[in-house]
A and B are shown apart, each in its own frame.
Chain A
């Protein structure tokens, strides 16, 4: 047993050491806040692909995601189409987002919303919604490492102690996030992505083949697991609700959106989407299929959330278990780094930076300090028993989709104004808070839609009504036309781009 633990923990230690080595070797001092926040817009398509996946697919997909499919069946496949639609959306919005980002030196999603609506209030509000929605995900990211260290110890280490070890590892990793900002995250994402989704895919294929060798196939799975809730179900729109929430939510997450600004051009953002889609299809499709087939194994139905580790351990012993744990560790670390960095950047850039006149050096210092504070705070919270954490994560997801109204309508159309954007966000969050207290999952009288989607309807209504009632004056009309006209001019290289900042904020 001791040698088995040496194999599993040793593999994790080697992986962690390689990540740190890569970061040390690649260390370049950030010259200004744009370099810290978006790595000076310097990365190509392959890095973009891995950065997107490492943010979109956290370690919990191996635990909660696999567990959901193992207990509920194909309804749990919602993440695959949502991920592909997310990459397609990134492809379609690439020119607008990247060009505006480069032209006006934008660093965050909230920065872009502030520019588009010419409003400091919208910028601050969007930033706060994004950060608050991400906080439960930070705690969940820390806790998911507890599951890794617990499973890899073969039951020798209790869950609470395992969470403490995981939290400590993640906290140590953040030293490099503080020092290297976004550049360190994108570089480590590339390696972590290869491990989590490259080697992970090979492991998944091997495990599916092992299940096949045990005589397990499609007919071995219970037929009820192939069924979506239908018209006769009390929640006929449950799958639609999950899909729509995640489809809308994907690029509303500030940690995912900020990745568009790390590219060295529109072409790299598009290439990132085109490269990431097939990787997501094979990896996520394979993982989902494996989760479904694993239900035919005795013992999995009783503990679906342990299916990933149980399957790896039974098929390949400590070596496969070590690999399975490393996949979760790699995916969790990539997601946590990006989330904590984007939260810190938004708080510095769009809350403090929007209220106070701060230099580039001051913004960088504030962002670094915020990373440290967020890491310590979430580490402390993650060590506590949190029975309501999953409810908070769901609330965060439903809160972040409220950004989709000003974000997508603001990027793709000239319609809407700051009153509608801010009013819609406030109305949406207030409606969500009220409905979510009573119905945290699906709302029966809404055919299974969740509170976030009902709140989104209210948000959209406010946005549209405000847009219709308050037509833009001539100055505002000209400002928006100038903004969209900038898309017709070929974007300048990052080094040449002026640091104009967001014009005409009220």
Chain B
């Protein structure tokens, strides 16, 4: 039996589904919050802001890419 998709009825997990799983990990993994805590600068941004804006930008770019590659017609 083929594995079912998280996001549709195709037999594979599509890009948006993978992005959602990656996003949930980045947002909801407490050790990452603890590692990112503090004001030590990374590329001029305090570490906690670098973490927050970094993965937020990644999620946004990933969603835009998923939309551009999406083949939904209707």
Residue positions of A touching B, CB distance < 8 A: 74, 77, 80-82, 84-85, 87-89, 91-93, 95-96, 218, 221, 223, 226-228, 230-231, 236-237, 239-240, 243-244, 247, 265-267, 270-271, 273-274, 277-278, 280-281, 285, 289, 292, 412, 484, 487-488, 490-491, 493
Contact = CB atoms under 8 A, between A and B. Distances in A.
A227 B51 CA distance: 12
A277 B59 contact: yes
A92 B37 contact: no
B8 A95 contact: yes
B34 A231 contact: yes
Contacts of A267: 70, 72-74
Contact of B53 (A93, A231, A285): A285
A92 B20 contact: yes
Give the interface residue-count category, chain B.
Answer: 35 or more
A227 B24 CA distance: 21
Contact of A84 (B37, B48, B49, B59): B59
Nearest to B72: A267
Contacts of B17: 92
A241 to B, nearest CB: 10
B45 to A, nearest CB: 7
A85 B21 CA distance: 10
A226 B67 contact: no
A267 B64 CA distance: 13
A84 B36 CA distance: 19
Nearest to A219: B39
Nearest to A490: B74
Contacts of A244: 28
A311 to B, nearest CB: 19
7 contacts: A85-B23, A85-B24, A91-B16, A91-B63, A228-B37, A270-B72, A277-B59
B38 A227 contact: yes
Nearest to B55: A81
Contact of B74 (A227, A488, A491): A491
A92 B38 CA distance: 33
B30 A237 contact: yes
Q: Which of B6, B49, B53, B63 has the most CB of A within 10 A?
A: B63
A228 B37 CA distance: 5
Given A95-B8, A230-B37, A484-B9, A278 B56 contact: no
A88 B52 contact: no
B64 A278 contact: yes
A218 B64 CA distance: 30
Given A228-B34, A228-B48, A85 B27 contact: yes
Interface in B31-74: 33-34, 36-39, 41, 44-49, 52-53, 55-57, 59-60, 63-64, 66-67, 70, 72-74
A144 to B, nearest CB: 25
A277 B24 contact: no
B59 A88 contact: yes
The 3 A-B pairs with the shortest beta carbon distances in the complex, nearest first, are A274-B67, A226-B39, A228-B37
B67 A247 contact: no
A227 B37 contact: yes
Contacts of A231: 34
B30 A240 contact: yes
A278 B63 CA distance: 9
B20 A84 contact: no
